[in-house]
Amino acid sequence: MPELPEVETVVRDLRPLVVGQRVEAIWVGRKKLRRTWQRAWTASILGTTVEAVRRRGKWIVIALNSGGRIVVHLGMTGQLTVKPSNEPRPTHTHVVFGLASDVQLRFRDARRFGSVEWFPDEETVHAYLARKLGPEPTDLDAAEFRQSIRRTGRALKAVLLDQAVVAGVGNIYADESLHRAGLHPERCGVTVTDTEADRLREAMATVVAEAIEHRGSTIRDYVGGAGQRGGYQTRFRVYGRGGEGCRACGAAIEVIRVAGRSSHFCPACQPADTREERATTARGQSRIIHRPTAPEPRRT
DNA sequence: CCGACGTCCTGCTAGC
DNA sequence: TGCTAGCAGGACGTCG
């Protein structure tokens, strides 16, 4: 599933292929995506030229010389690739932009959790994304991150998946970061020390940077902007390695459900906080029922 | 107001 | 071998 490193790889791949290209044709399929394509968007985009391709969190922003912006989210199975126009269109292709040099920018998404939409200007896109997203992992302020963690009773895993806390981290890199930081995914936010929070912030930055170097991770569907698979999946320390040995200590990696997501961790490197009490819900998910430290009083 | 949970969607896999 | 139930999860709406 595309997270920050995969989206960054797509953006880097697309940049030399689409910047400077004119959008000469647009085709939109009938199947509904997360956002419904508006007829007016086609007219607004046709004839404009791509000026830049950027990423913010897991979102891709394609800047046009008209000031308009095409904004893409890959969801679970989305692919945004440049292919020769004469190459057959694979199934689940939903949007195609015909570019000047006989190539097409194609959006393909089997599960249709992704989206393609248009905004009239940079300010509107900025407001749209700023409402949802916190800082990038590399821009995360130490004090701010400590506070984000400590002001909540949620499990650390849930905090990392919250795009308003840190943008771009998903299930894979949350698990990998927690392992590097030696923190249990269910660890309750309020009990996390400054040192632990700092370790987690640094672990996230490291994991994400390493994954980008390896062009992201391909579990099943993910491909880069020219259709190539990623290479980081062979370096996972915990994700998808349930039952296998921890690369650090050899203990068997465990899989549990936290915040509605599968969570992989090493019980030896990432010990549970024994001061916490938990109960298991009917659906097999564990809930913290007692916290060792009371949350700070909420300010009004 | 925070947090938990249901919903969307289809391809693949485990299990019979 | 062939079928099917269940699982995978990012964003977001809803509900307690």
The whole-number Å distance from A109's CA to C5's C1' is 24
Does position A263 have pLDDT exceeding 90, yes or no?
yes
Cβ atoms < 10 Å from Cβ of A254:
16
Q: Indicate the pLDDT class of residue A219, thresholds 50, 70 and 90.
A: confident
- Rounded to the nearest angstrom, the gap between the alpha carbon of residue A121 and the centroid of all alpha carbons in its chain is 24
Q: Which of A25-29, A157-161, A227-231 is the least confident region? A: A227-231
Measured CA A181 to C1' B9 distance, in angstroms: 34
* The pLDDT value given to residue A194: 96
Kindly provide the b/e burial profile for residues A122-146, where b requires at least 16 CB atoms within 10 angstroms of the residue's own CB. Answer: eeebeebbeeebbbbbeebeeeebb
Protein contacts on strand C: list nucleotides below 7 Å from a Cβ. 7-12
Contact A134, A164 (CB under 8 A): yes
The answer to whether some atom of strand B lies closer than 7 Å to the beta carbon of A92 is: yes
CB atoms within 10 A of CB A88: 6
Give yes or no for residue A290 having a pLDDT over 70.
no
Which residues from the 160-219 window of protein chain A have CB within 7 angstroms of nucleic acid chain B? none
- Whole-number Å distance, CA A222 to C1' B16? 32
Active-site annotation of A, residues: 2-3, 58, 261
Higher pLDDT: A295 or A198? It is: A198
Global pTM reads 0.92
Q: What is the pLDDT confidence band of residue A267, given thresholds at 50, 70 and 90?
A: very high
Between the CA of A24 and the C1' of C11, what is the distance in angstroms?
31
| Nearest to A140, CA basis, from A4, A11, A295 | A4
pLDDT at residue A286 above 80?
Answer: no
CB A179 within 8 Å of CB A253: no
Q: What is the pLDDT of residues A151-166, one digit of tens each?
A: 999 999 999 999 999 9
Mean pLDDT calculated for residue range A94-111? 96
Query: What is the predicted pLDDT for the residue at A277?
Result: 54
Is the pLDDT reported for residue A256 higher than 70? yes
Statement: residue A292 has pLDDT above 70: no
Q: Which of A157-161, A164-168, A202-206, A258-262 has the lowest mean pLDDT?
A: A258-262
A112 touches strand B (CB under 7 A): yes
Average pLDDT, chain A: 91
Q: Who wins on pLDDT, A129 or A288?
A: A129
| Closest residue to B7 (CA, C1′) | A113
What pLDDT shows up at residue A165? 96
Would you place residue A41 in the very low, low, confident or very high pLDDT band (cuts 50, 70, 90)? very high
CA dihedral A261, A267, A268, A270 (to 10 degrees): 30
Map tokens 């009990």 to a residue. A191
Per residue in A68-94, pLDDT (tens digit) is: 999 999 999 999 999 999 999 999 999
Angstrom distance (rounded) from CA A167 to CA A117: 20
Model pLDDT, residue A276: 58
pLDDT confidence band for A273 (50 / 70 / 90):
confident
Pairing of strands A93-99, A23-28: antiparallel
Confidence of residue A300 (pLDDT cuts 50, 70, 90): very low
Over 70: is that where the pLDDT of A191 sits?
yes
